[in-house]
Amino acid sequence: MRYRMLSLALSAAAVRAAATTYDYIVVGSGPGGGPLAAELARAGFSTLLLEAGGDEGDNPTYADLMNFNEAANDEATRWDFWVKHSDDPERELKFEHTVYDTGDGTFHIGPDPPEGAKHLGIQYPRAAVLGGCAMHNAAVCTLPADDDWNIIVNKTGDTSWEADNMRKYLKKMERVQYLAAGNPDRGYDGWLATSVGDTSWAKNNSNPQTRIAKKVAELTGQDPENVASLVGTDILAKADKMDEKNSFYNMAQHMDSQGKRNSPNNYVRATIADPAKYPLTLQLHTLVTRVLFDEATVGEGKTPRAIGVEVMEGPSLYGADPKHVKGTKGPVSQILAKREVIVAGGAFNSPQILKLSGVGPADELKKFGIPVVKDLPGVGENLGDNYEGSLLALGQAPVEAGLMTLLFRTPSAPDKKRNIFTWCGAFSFEGFWPGFPTDHGPTQYTCAIVHMQPKSQTGTVKLVSANPQDTPDINFRFFDKHGDQDLKELVEAADILREAIHAAGPPVQPLVEQHPCKQTLNCTFEEKKEYFKTQAYSHHATSTCAIGGDDDKFAVLDSKFRVRGVAGLRVVDASAFPVVPGAFPSCPTMMLSVKAAEDIIAEAKGQK
């Protein structure tokens, strides 16, 4: 078979022939790629799973969920993307945790950098490791609003995306640890354990956290006298009009009952170790540099066909890796796929790989001398994320209780759906920077705020060169459209929570707010709005290879994850979502992965 090499700079001596051809090649082992590769292999298809990082599944830093902050800071797996939140350089410098490279191997965080320091931007850490970002996150497992699934039905006409149908993928992959057997909507023998925390603190009416919860209940239309029961509500339960209900929840996490992280890492390793000898091959420390195409299929009026990938082998080859030494390269080879190449690199790397392969906006590709295989203007566009912020205060004594989790609607939300996910407790979370979070001492109290359904998704992932080791230029363009409305909703959320935390009573009171109001009981609406505009952060990027309809020129994928206008190539990860799915995309992306496997296997068996 002939193939098209899209790297004119590579000499023939630098390329060695692939030793093996697989049915499927899956690029990336995170929530999108890991489950998909395991499912394909279990269906009998020879599958190669490529991962740029290593395997830390037995490392307590990753295996014990309580260490998630340490995991996200660990240079062993961390990829640092330095992103922008806007096109305004002055606004970017106002971010209190913006990062500078001092030149001596250290970072400077915040304003007033030392002379000669290089401004890097806002840290957006990703995980280069078997299991992807599901190995360094807080493992929160929630579902999107029904409409976040149904939007795909509306765009494509594919009813398999209806919310009721999508729940079956949660059931298929879940091994619930906290419910008695027999719930027809939940799974008990899947590969992903789910557990919840202890909410017994709410039975103690003298506990400051209980007093805060009762005030929250009053402010959000719940029964304050029933808080002890309400905080144990199952966040993964199925109920009518759930997305319109203000409610406390017990936060579910993808971990087992012993606090051990569960992720695609577990599923991939279990599939490889299974006595059934499923045909899954895992190749670590392998950076995919581009997708290969059959030369005979590339050209005007033809449908290009993906037939494999080009890879560079070795550790720390990507520029986002803090251990990367510029100029370091590894041996380059090609690996072929008989059926398909499936890209699952995430919202930053999937569009980069497509563009490096000649699939993307033609003008951008030509700028870097990349031959155009398929002009797809939507690749790298539509980048979106939730807006995140927090209400942080310091008390006179610790609030010694577990987390309080709540989803609710603010007064000015444009429809009946709740728009805020929050969790409150004695912790600090103010975004990401090297060494995060700041420990404000034992009396710190935070309500972390996630604003769902952002009304602006105009961010971009752009190439900076044709070098696959270079990180792309990433700009989220926060609040670019309808920003005033989203900011108003964030302020309203903080105002509700502020009123609630001041019900803590002795010995915690008085609580001294650190932000958004700085050491005052209140501040003006404009001050609070400005705080969220300049200090909002995020870590749930999606939608840069979005599924869309035939009439949408920016649609990258069809409803079966196939790259439009290209054969043998799909994208299966969070970049496929047209909109940000709910508050936390980890479990929804795993569900998407299991659905993709079902679609691909059905299609493959139909071709036999």
Q: Which of 329, 430, 347 is nearest to 389 (CA)?
A: 430
- Cα four-point dihedral sign 422, 423, 424, 426: negative
Half-sphere exposure of 569 (CA within 13 A, CB side): 29
Q: Which of helix, strand or coil describes residue 219?
A: helix
The encoded tokens of residue 232 equal 């144990």
Alpha-carbon distance of 173 to 168, in angstroms, equals 9
Binding residues: 129, 137-140, 288
Residue 206 neighbours by CB under 8 Å, 6+ apart: none
Amino acid at 325: V
Alpha-carbon distance of 324 to 326, in angstroms, equals 6
Could you give the C-alpha distances from 91 to 364, 478, 526, 534, 586, in angstroms and in order?
27, 11, 16, 7, 30
Residue 9 neighbours by CB under 8 Å, 6+ apart: none
Alpha-carbon distance of 590 to 585, in angstroms, equals 9
Alpha-carbon distance of 188 to 173, in angstroms, equals 9
Binding residues for FAD: 129, 137-140, 288
Phi, psi of 439 (to 5 degrees): -90, 110
First to last CA, the chain: 21
Residue ranges of alpha helices (H) inside 465-506 are 483-501
Q: Are strands 47-50 and 280-283 parallel, antiparallel or unpaired?
A: parallel
Q: Calculate the CA dihedral of residues 547, 548, 549, 555 and round it to 10 degrees.
A: -110
Residue 287 contacts residue 468 (beta carbons within 8 Å): yes
Q: What is the DSSP letter of 559?
A: T
Could you give the C-alpha distances from 204 to 14, 196, 228, 251, 442, in angstroms and in order?
68, 19, 8, 20, 21
Cβ count near 577 (within 10 Å): 27
Residue 231 contacts residue 210 (beta carbons within 8 Å): no
Q: Which of 499, 94, 53 is nearest to 318 (CA)?
A: 53
Sheet of strand 78-83, all strands in order from the earlier edge strand to the far edge:
78-83, 118-127, 99-101, 107-109
Residue 343 contacts residue 28 (beta carbons within 8 Å): yes
Q: What's the gap between Cα 555 and its chain centre? A: 20
